[in-house]
Structure formats: structure tokens, C-alpha cells
Amino acid sequence: MKVLVCDSISARAVERMRQACLEVDVQDKITAEELLQVIGNYDAMVVRSRTKVRKPVLDAAAKLKVIVRGGVGVDNIDIDYAQAQGVRVLNTPGASTDSVAELTVGYLFALARPIVQATISLKAGKWEKKKFHGAEIQGKTLGVIGTGRIGKAVARRAAAVGMKVLGYDVVASEPVPYLTVTPLDELLAQSDYITLHIPLLESTHHLVDADLIARMKDGVRIIHCGRGGVIDEDALYDALVAGKVAGAALDVFEIEPPKDSKLFTLEQMIGSPHVGASTKEATARIGDEVAELLIAFE
């Protein structure tokens, strides 16, 4: 089976697949145009979040049998069309859970204590000690929208540092002692911090819009390390400017990389370039699971 690796995975995973007699080509900087030219030669492809697998790619993939997404979300793949073409879509949902949860909690602390802004100020030669007055997170309420693997992992860590944790999800999940399931409106009204861990679907596109933000507690802080497009970024910008939202931390954006985003003009917004799963541990686990899936598929 010929495998095209379109995005970076661990060298160990590539070697494991080759030892299992898979023919693996690594082109982890391949462009969309180049992909269209070569995908017809492959039986399998490996992607992460960078590579988009839409109808034109699938139409050109005459031999393709399986797509493996290294990571959780599969919104960069046209799953319905792939399945209609007889192509299976697999992913590695648990491999990056801890890494994304830890980044989320890191942002919790960075919003409570303006570490990023203070660092920028200090490096600019300033000593603005009184400007960067923060708050403790213990005793505060965290609202977790999306209580799957990552949502629960965040909740467990937040509860361990003394936060009250509320959770909401449209899908029922196993109860856990460190999270109280509530209706969405109750979560919005009570939460000092809100973190989003839901997939990007037609029903969740711009879920966090002006109306939803208006139902939140004044001075709320929002963290988003899930899927870009869940937040209406224009509505978030307006809420930050108005002070309704006191701070925001975003690892994902509707367009990546963002172009001329007004959010980047605001000091109270901090962010990162979609690095939730970018740890050496998560990369190793993702690679191992990708290799296992393809070896078993063969």
C-alpha cells in the first residue's frame, strides 16, 4: 500500500510503517496544487490540520482507500463525499487530549494574571508594576462547553486548582465528580471563564455569536483551543472593545493563518498559531496511532 504523508508526523511512525512493508512518501510541505497532481498514485493519505481534503482532491484520488487524520477534528475532510467514494476516514481522537487540555489551562492562568502583556511591556523597557494587577482562579467558575475527552481533561485540572466547573454538551456523557452538568444558559450566566471544546459543524458554526455573548456574565474571559469557526470573531472583537468580555485566548481561528484580524489590535486578546497538539508527547502518540491504524488497515 502506498501512503502519502501530507503533514508532519514522527519519524518513528514513518519507520514503523516502512518496517510493516508500507511504501511511505513524506511530503509534509506539499501544496494544494501539488497534492492534486500526485494523489492519484496513492492508496492512503495522512493529514493533520494543515491539509484540506475536499471534493477536488477526492476526485483526483482514483486509488485512495483510506485517509487518516492525525488528531481529533476532521472538519478539514469532506467526510460524506469521501465515504460516497468508498474512502474510509479514520482519526486519532485521544492522542492529543492532554496537550490541548494543558494549553487551555495555561491560558486560564495567562488570562487571570496578564503574563503575556507584562512580558511584552518588560521587554519594551517598561516597569509597569501597577498596570498588571491580576486575580486568582481558585474559587472562580469555569464553564466547559463540550464535555468530551478534552473538556473533561480540562475540567479535572481546573477542579484540582480550586475552581468550580460547570459543563454543557448536546451529547450526554459519563458523569464525573469534578464537573457539574448544567443547562447552557446557567453556565453562561455563572461562568467567570468559558472554554470551548466542540467540533465545527453546521450547527456549531458561529455558535458563540453576539447573542450568546450577551447572555454571558459581564467580564467573562473566553478560551478557545478547539476548532476555528465556532466563534464569530467580529462579535468577539466588539464584546472585547465594549468590555463585556474582559479577555480572550485563542489557539484557533476561522481562517488560518488569520489575515488582518482586528482581534490582534487588542491587548486583552492573546493567542497562538493552532499549537494545541504541538508537544513532543502528543506528536509521538499521534504518530504511533496513525501507524497502527494504517498497518491494521493493510
Annotation marks residue 221 as catalytic:
no
Instruction: Give dist(CA 298, CA 239) in Å, integer.
Output: 51
How many residues are present in the chain?
A: 298
Amino acid at 64: L
- DSSP class of residue 50 equals S
Annotation marks residue 274 as catalytic:
yes
Instruction: Give dist(CA 61, CA 36) in Å, integer.
Output: 8
Catalytically annotated residue among 136, 256, 267, 281: 256
- DSSP class of residue 217 equals P
What lies within 8 Å, CB to CB, of 59 at 6+ separation is: none
How many secondary structure helices (H) and strands (E) does the chain include?
A: 11, 12
Q: Decide: 127 and 281 in contact? Cβ < 8 Å.
A: no
Instruction: Give dist(CA 230, CA 228) in Å, integer.
Output: 6
Instruction: Give dist(CA 7, CA 232) in Å, integer.
Output: 28
Catalytically annotated residue among 227, 233, 285, 289: 227
**Phi/psi zone of residue 67: left (φ > 0), alpha (ψ -120 to 50 degrees), beta?**
beta
Annotation marks residue 227 as catalytic:
yes
Instruction: Give dist(CA 95, CA 112) in Å, integer.
Output: 28
Instruction: Give dist(CA 190, CA 182) in Å, integer.
Output: 10
Catalytically annotated residue among 16, 197, 274, 285: 274
- Which amino acids are annotated catalytic? 227, 256, 274
